[in-house]
Amino acid sequence: MYDQPALEKKLDNDTIKIAASGVQVYYGEAHAIKDVNVQIQDKTVTAFIGPSGCGKSTFLRTLNRMNDTIDICRVEGKILLDGEDIYDPRVDPVQLRAKVGMVFQKPNPFPKSIYDNVAYGPRIHGLAKNKADLDEIVEKALRRGAIWNEVKDRLHAPGTGLSGGQQQRLCIARAVATEPEVLLMDEPCSALDPIATSQVEELIDELRTNYSVVIVTHSMQQAARVSQKTAFFHLGNLVEFGDTSQIFTNPKDPRTESYITGRIG
């Protein structure tokens, strides 16, 4: 079981949640991801950094098969979630995405009420037996999304009426409401102001107790602040992967060093 947050505050970082080996991604003829091998640990925040167009978002989207929605996209290699290949033909991507949730770059709440936004996932996955159950799930998710106190009095107001930072936290709450095991975040703070960013970052740190979080970010400071592991992508290659402290203080690869010191990017 992965859901024993209170008891096991001490993190068992050694469990490998996602293991990717030899992953190649093609967009038509373009070779977007070249032979990436990476192991993402459970209850850890892993940051993907790299210059624009280096493939970090593409790689993130392969982890819950969101790339399936793009016709010309082709993925090769193996990505194991708890030892099971997610590209196995028997896997239904819908079921996979319930386990591997995703938060997007731009806050994208449904144009429905705050309550319905969060309740949507549990509803379609049948997680709640009745209304009271659902209310509880929604409250729990909104609390985890660190937005409960702000919206508890207006759960039936439209989600699109919130501020950008609140919307993004609502989206995070929506993602955790389905009880995923992994949470993928694609530049979750790029559309937010510094205050909202710091709120979301705090939230990410809290989420680590329950989930394995993978975050794509443009901001190296953010990667340094929130992550324990960092992967540096460049031109579709995974250049370096290691402990965040090591990547930022003692990078092994000269390209990593150039990037984090601001010479390429």
Which residues of this protein are in contact with other proteins, per CB under 8 A?
64, 66, 69, 71, 94-95, 97-98, 101-104, 106, 108-112, 120-121, 124-125, 158, 160, 171, 174-175, 177-178
To other proteins, the closest distance from the beta carbon of 116 in angstroms equals 10
Beta bridge partners of 31: 26
Q: Which of 179, 256, 243, 233 is nearest to 44 (CA)?
A: 243
The smaller minimum CB distance to other proteins, of residues 112 and 143, is found at 112
To other proteins, the closest distance from the beta carbon of 113 in angstroms equals 11
- Residue 252 to residue 247: CA distance in whole angstroms: 8
Query: 94, 66 in Cβ contact below 8 A?
Result: no
The smaller minimum CB distance to other proteins, of residues 114 and 171, is found at 171
Structure tokens at 248: 């930022």
- Phi/psi zone of residue 55: left (φ > 0), alpha (ψ -120 to 50 degrees), beta? left
The smaller minimum CB distance to other proteins, of residues 49 and 177, is found at 177
The smaller minimum CB distance to other proteins, of residues 60 and 247, is found at 60
**Which amino acid is located at 194 in the chain?**
P
> What contacts 144, CB < 8 A, 6 or more positions away?
172, 173, 176, 206, 207, 210
The smaller minimum CB distance to other proteins, of residues 70 and 264, is found at 70
To other proteins, the closest distance from the beta carbon of 208 in angstroms equals 20
- Residue 107 to residue 149: CA distance in whole angstroms: 19
